[in-house]
Structure 1
Amino acid sequence: MAMAILGVSITATLLPAQARNVKYMVSIPNTLESEQVKAKLDGSVKLFFGPQAYANDSRTIASMNAHGKMSIEFKADIASCQASFADALGTLQNNAKAAGADAVVNIVSYFKNGPVMSSATEFECRAGSNFSHVMLKGELVKLSGK
């Protein structure tokens, strides 16, 4: 009996893990209208995604990364991705306010060491077995005229 249990244990450890890593490209405009984003953002910091134009004479304060993570347990992948995006945007907003910035510009998404996704219309999200992840980079700036 002990040999049977040992055999099953060894076999289980040798099987490859069934890790899930599904890539989604999610709409930024639709997500900005979601309840998750509306609950996280207060409108005090302007957000400019990818190549969106902003005032040329803005003063850059800092660059930063933000990671949004949300449980998938009771949500569909896209809803979880939207909540992760809201979480990451909330981090960008809060750090911008703390630094005296009134905008975050050149916001791009990426995953780990992969390529950067610079878009005004989509962000990258990864859905795993338990969580969705959104990673954003942006520049905290003080817009001109303020």
Structure 2
Amino acid sequence: MKKAMLTMVLAASAVAATLPAVAADRQMMMPIEGAMNVNDAKGRLGDTVKFYFGDQKTPKVASKITSDSTSQKTNSVGKSPEEACNWAFLSAMLALKKKAESVGANAVVNIVSNYKHKEMSSQTEFECHDGNIVSGVALKAEFVKLAD
């Protein structure tokens, strides 16, 4: 009896190991304005660094400093896809702000989504990938000093 039970358990384990893992990865386009209006995003980002998305018109650029990217994830368990994506977006924006401050930039321009190194440019939306456990936002941008 024990041997038969062990054989069944081993067989079930072998079958389970061959099945593909079911992991969600839903690509979502989310409104930037919506993300900026929750989680105290505007307050947390402050006004010392200006942000410009896609090909959004900017004031005159005095100097280009550098470019960089960030990929931020958040726990999506118990959150709606919108909530999780907005948190990941805010984390990515805070990372861009921190980089801008560290290199002496007063603006971040040409911000584009860059999930898995695939650029998507928009003035109004960002790309988020929502999973069963984790949601993520990747952004790429240029850091500049705007003319006074």
TM over 0.5: yes
Kept after mapping to 2: 8 A contact 1:37/1:83 = no
- TM-superposed deviation, 1:56: 3.6
Could you tell me which of 8, 17, 22 is aligned with 2:12? 8
Query: 1:78 aligns to what?
Result: 82
Larger radius of gyration: 2
Q: Which moved more, 1:11-20 or 1:66-75?
A: 66-75
Aligned residues: 144
Structure 1, unmatched stretches of 5+, are none
Consecutive aligned runs of 4 or more in structure 1 exceeding 3 Å deviation: none
Kept after mapping to 2: 8 A contact 1:36/1:86 = no
RMSD: 1.2
Query: 2:21 aligns to what?
Result: 17
- TM-superposed deviation, 1:78: 0.7
Q: Which moved more, 1:134-143 or 1:30-39?
A: 30-39
Query: 1:61 aligns to what?
Result: 65
Kept after mapping to 2: 8 A contact 1:36/1:83 = no
Q: 1:74 to 1:109 in 2, by over 3 A?
A: same
Q: What is the distance in 2 between the residues matched to 1:39 and 1:87?
A: 13
Kept after mapping to 2: 8 A contact 1:63/1:140 = yes
Q: Which moved more, 1:122-131 or 1:65-74?
A: 65-74
Q: What is the distance in 2 between the residues matched to 1:68 and 1:122?
A: 17
More strand by share: 2
Query: 1:104 aligns to what?
Result: 108
Q: 1:80 to 1:39 in 2, by over 3 A?
A: farther
Query: 1:125 aligns to what?
Result: 128
Percent identity of paired positions between Structure 1 and Structure 2:
37
AA of the residue aligned to 1:11: V
In the superposition, the TM-score normalised over structure 1's length comes to 0.93
Structure 2, unmatched stretches of 5+, are none
Query: 2:37 aligns to what?
Result: 33
In the superposition, the TM-score normalised over structure 2's length comes to 0.92
- The one-character-per-residue Cα deviations of 1:82-137 (angstroms, maximum 9, x if unpaired) are 010000000000110011000000000021133x1100000000001201100000
Could you tell me which of 134, 140, 143 is aligned with 1:137? 140
